[in-house]
Amino acid sequence: MTICDAHLHLTRKDLPKLSAWHAAGLAGATSATARHTEWAEALELTQLTPSWVHYAMGIHPWYLEEAPETALEELDTFLASHPALAVGEIGLDFADGRDDRERQLHWFEAQLALASKHHRPAVLHLRRAWDCAPVILAKYPEVTTVLHSFNGSREIARQLLEALPNCYFSFGFALANPAATRQAGAAQVIPTERLLTDSDYPFQHLPDASASVPTDLAAVIARLAELRHDSPTLLAGQIAENWQRVFDEL
């Protein structure tokens, strides 16, 4: 089965694993940064990995406080000098009592604006932010967005589909859990050409595992196919085409 992983976090220590994953079906992957301190290594990795690995650079909502003021200018410069670089992982996260709303909104919108300026896709982390994220995203309808490990309901998915012409919904390992009924409901209404999958490696895993790798997304594709009464192989091919449309055309 062809597998594309729209969001994971590679480091230097993962380099020896890439060829085995590729041989096991991983045809495309987009590696993102979460912290400013990871940017130098990510830029190095762009030179060390095969062409089926793409990179996104950004600051995750959990790590804004440690980022220097100059980070946005740096990101602007890196995007200008690296034409294949996407933006991410950026987003909004108001779960677990996080209340730095002003700061999160500022960085989210500033990084989205850079994605717009440089015509790059943006990989998004959105949690407990459905009251404000759609409003902000609707200000940047031209930006292709990837909602990684999408955990919204069917209603949220419909709302986003209507407002955002260039939005992709990426399902993670959580969908393989039969108890994930909210995600399952959303997975049934999203058009095939807007579907992606992501492992968030090494941070997420299949419900029955303690650790998972990108090729374990085969189980997520199988679950998506089951929910959508589709063939896993055909769906995997369509998801790979979607990944290529977003990242390979950079």
CB of 233 to Zn ion, least distance (A): 27
C-alpha to C-alpha distance for 185 and 94, rounded to whole angstroms: 23
Cβ pair 201, 213 in contact under 8 A: yes
Closer residue to Zn ion in complex, CB, 111/235: 111
Which residue's Cβ has the minimum distance to Zn ion?
Answer: 200
Cβ proximity to Zn ion, 14 vs 89, nearer residue: 89
200: region left, alpha or beta (phi > 0 left; psi from -120 to 50 alpha): left
DSSP 57: E
Using the rule CB under 5 A, is 5 a contact of Zn ion?
no
Site for Zn ion in 85-104 (CB under 5 A): 89
Give the CA distances from residue 186 to residues 107, 159, 201, 236, in Å, rounded to whole numbers and listed in that order. 28, 11, 23, 18
The site for Zn ion, by CB under 5 A, has a size of: 2
Alpha-carbon distance values, 134 to 145, 156, 196 (Å)? 12, 9, 19
Shortest Å distance, C-beta 9 to Zn ion: 6
Region near Zn ion per CB under 5 A, out of 65-73, 196-204, 205-213, 232-240: 196-204
Q: Is the Cβ of residue 75 or residue 147 nearer to Zn ion in the bound state?
A: 147
Select from 11-19, 92-100, 112-120, 198-206 the region that touches Zn ion (CB under 5 A): 198-206
CB nearer Zn ion, residue 200 or residue 216: 200
Q: 157 and 171 in contact (C-beta within 8 Å)?
A: no
- The Cα 28–Cα 53 span in angstroms is 6
Q: Which span sits near Zn ion by CB under 5 A: 72-80, 105-113, 137-145, 192-200?
A: 192-200
Residues 114 to 173 in contact with Zn ion, rule: CB under 5 A: none
Question: Among residues 200, 201, 216, 236, which is the contact residue for Zn ion, using CB under 5 A?
Answer: 200
Strand 53-57 with 3-8, pairing: unpaired
Cα(208)–Cα(211) distance, integer angstroms: 9
Name residue 47's amino acid: Q
Name the minimum Å distance from CB 54 to Zn ion. Answer: 15
Question: By the criterion CB under 5 A, which residues form the site for Zn ion?
Answer: 89, 200
